[in-house]
Amino acid sequence: MEKVLILDFGGQYNQLIARRVRECHVYCEVRPYTMSLEEIRDFDPMGIIFTGGPNSVYLPDSPQVDPGIFDLNVPVLGICYGCQLIAHTLGGQVTEAQDDSAREYGKTKTYYDTTCPLFRGLPAEGISWMSHGDYMAKVPEGFTLAAHSDACPNVAIAHVERRIYGVQYHPEVNHTQYGTQMIRNFLFEICHASGDWTMADYKEQAIRQVREKVQDGRVLLALSGGVDSSVCAALLAEAIGPQLICVFVDHGLMRLNEGDEVEQAFAKWDMKMVRVNAQDRFLGRLAGVVDPDRKRKIIGEEFIHVFQDEAKKIGAVEFLAQGTIYPDVIESGAGAAAVIKSHHNVGGLPSHVDFKEILEPLRLLFKDEVRQLGRELGLPDYLVDRQPFPGPGLAIRIMGEVTREKADTLRQADFLFRQEVARAGLDHQLSQYFAVLTDTRSVGVMGDGRTYDNVLVLRAVTTDDFMTADWARIPYEVLDRASVAIVNQVRGINRVCYDITSKPPATVEWE
CA angle, 130 then 136 then 141, to 5°: 130
Name the active-site residue from 24, 28, 80, 246.
80
CB-count burial class (<10 Å; 0-12, 13-18, 19+) for 73? exposed
d(CA 314, CA 246): 11
Contact between 362 and 226 (Cβ < 8 Å): no
Residue 338 is classified by DSSP as P
CA angle, 159 then 164 then 168, to 5°: 95
Q: Strand pairing partners for 245?
A: 220, 272
| 170 carries an active-site annotation | yes
d(CA 416, CA 403): 20
d(CA 76, CA 69): 9
d(CA 423, CA 168): 46
* Dihedral, CA of residue 288, residue 292, residue 294 and residue 296, to nearest 10: 110
How would you label 23-59 residue by residue, b for 16+ Cβ within 10 Å and e otherwise? Answer: ebbbbbebbebebeeeebeeeebbbbbbbbbbbbbee
d(CA 163, CA 46): 12
Strands of the sheet with 357-359, listed across from one edge: 272-277, 244-250, 219-222, 319-321, 357-359
| 80 carries an active-site annotation | yes
Name the active-site residue from 170, 251, 343, 344.
170
SS3 238: helix
N- to C-terminal Cα distance for the chain?
40
d(CA 328, CA 508): 13
Query: What kind and span of H or E run contains 205?
Result: helix 199-214
Contact between 97 and 133 (Cβ < 8 Å): yes
Contact between 195 and 293 (Cβ < 8 Å): no
Q: What is the CA radius of gyration of the chain?
A: 25
Name the active-site residue from 2, 104, 172, 420.
172
d(CA 442, CA 122): 55
Q: What are phi and psi of 167, to 5 degrees?
A: -130, 140
d(CA 114, CA 116): 5
- Could you list the active site residues? 80, 170, 172
